[in-house]
Amino acid sequence: MHIQFSQSRPQSARLVAQVTDKGKLPEGLEKALAEGAESARFKGKAGQLFEGFVERDGQVLRLALAGAGDRNDEARLANCEKAGAALAAKYQSIGDAELVLDLAGSSLSAEEAASVLLGLRLRNWRYDIYRTTMKDEQKVTLATVTVVGAPEGTEAAWDELTHLAAGVEFTRELITEPANILYPESFVERCRERFAGTGAEIIVLDEAEMEKLGMGSLLGVGLGSDRESRILAIRWDGGEAGAAPTAFVGKGVTFDTGGISIKPGPGMEDMKWDMGGAGAVAGAMLALAGRKAKANIVGVMGLVENMPDGKAQRPGDVVTSMSGQTIEVLNTDAEGRLVLADALHWTQEEFKPARVLDFATLTGAMIIALGHEFAGVFSNDDELARQLHEAGEATGDRNWRLPIGPAYDKLINSPIADMKNIGGRAAGSITAAQFLQRFIADGTPWAHVDVAGMVWSDKPGRTWGKGATGYGVRLLDRFVRDTIEG
């Protein structure tokens, strides 16, 4: 979607939208429209819409009113996003290519106006490249938003948010792609293309290099696949020279059959998004590099495909991780933690980060515990957990902290190796986090974010349609703004 600013409404545009606060209609509204809104019980609640037709300057216009809710609501920016998203959801396929957002006389600040635009752009995103038989009335037609009467500073505020929007859209693209198109090698190449010219450094490890480093845990997951595994690191040095970076580490299982511990057939197609953690890291890095964040960040993604064949690892196998710790693999479908074990250790050895945050669609148990409302956070550092929670509340990428501790850690002790990769049915998400913690160096602040319930949605949400949500990009961007850039 292209967003532009103008002094006046283009004469060709026939679709005009205005944003209004709860309980207040725009000044100068035509009588028929005002009475129609009242009759339809339009109150200006966040995301509420009303439309009608009016004649202005000899032209018949389709005029939409979008509610931004109570002006004093603590969730004001989120409500402005809802207003913009409601407009996109309503008008993205009606045949008009352009929507005029008329902000003249509105009470919106520049930041609030930019939030409306963010909601518009994010909700208008749809990935239709494989749909070749769609009827014209089903296709997305809305391509341009022209903003008129914007409050001073809106254009600058929007310029800042365009990079965030691009990051969210990139994450959605990666997660939406099918596994025959997106696999470890093509994931790397797509990132190479997208990051060209940003100033970010791309580092890639192939299987031979990982084998030399002793990454038996990660490599074991990909043994049954014809697709080679990769480690991808994207480094952005925008902060103080020589300062230790913050590391984001993502699970990138581009397809997960479960391996020999194969999953049931129904729903297995969803496992194309088992790389949602890596997708979030890639999108966040694109947003940070795009806006030239004043921070040193490295995003590391462990990329594998988990398939069953004669070479695949078996339940009961023992693998040796790069850290030297041995793992008894009791279930090959608990593969994400095996990937992250080596990715986390390599990240700490290679980059000596000040803190480590990992993102992973790690456990189905997380969905049982928190549904699709919160990601789960597990951390060895109270301050880091608090910062993530606050960033989530501010952006809508919400998360909730769960416990870890020695009692849970005992559940993954193995009788023949240093640990086993599952701990039984009880506390499944917690024992997965305990497993990861064994690969975190003493004294390193660390948080594990289990996003299993958040990266894909079966119904439209605040700023997304059915499908990939882009969860994690906004969370990490806000975390960097508040915690590192200050």
Active site residue 263: yes
| Sheet hosting strand 98-102, strand order edge to edge | 2-6, 144-148, 98-102, 15-20, 59-67, 49-56
Q: What angle do CA 87, 461, 145 make, to 5 degrees?
A: 25
From 207, 227, 226, select the one nearest 218 (Cα to Cα).
207
SS3 128: coil
Give Cβ neighbours of residue 201 (< 8 Å, ≥ 6 apart): 234, 235, 236, 237
Task: Look up 462 and say whether it is catalytic.
Answer: no
Residues 170/173/174/177 CA torsion (nearest 10 deg): -170
Give residue for tokens 């299982």. 253
Q: Which of 82, 337, 420, 478 is catalytic?
A: 337
DSSP state of 454: T
Backbone phi and psi for residue 161, each to the nearest 5 degrees, phi listed first: -80, -15
Side-chain-facing half-sphere of 63: CA atoms under 13 Å: 23
Instruction: Name the phi and psi angles at 183, rounded to 5.
Output: -140, 175
Paired strand residues for 447: 357, 379
Catalytic residue among 22, 45, 71, 263: 263
Tokens representing 152 are 């001073």
Query: Which runs of E-coded beta strand occur in 123-245?
Result: 144-148, 201-205, 230-237
Neighbours of 272 (CB within 10 A): 22
Q: Look at residue 278 and give its three-state secondary structure.
A: helix
Show the tokens assigned to 183: 């696999």
Which class for 191: exposed (0-12), middle (13-18), buried (19 or more C-beta within 10 A)?
A: buried
Residues acting as catalytic residues: 263, 337
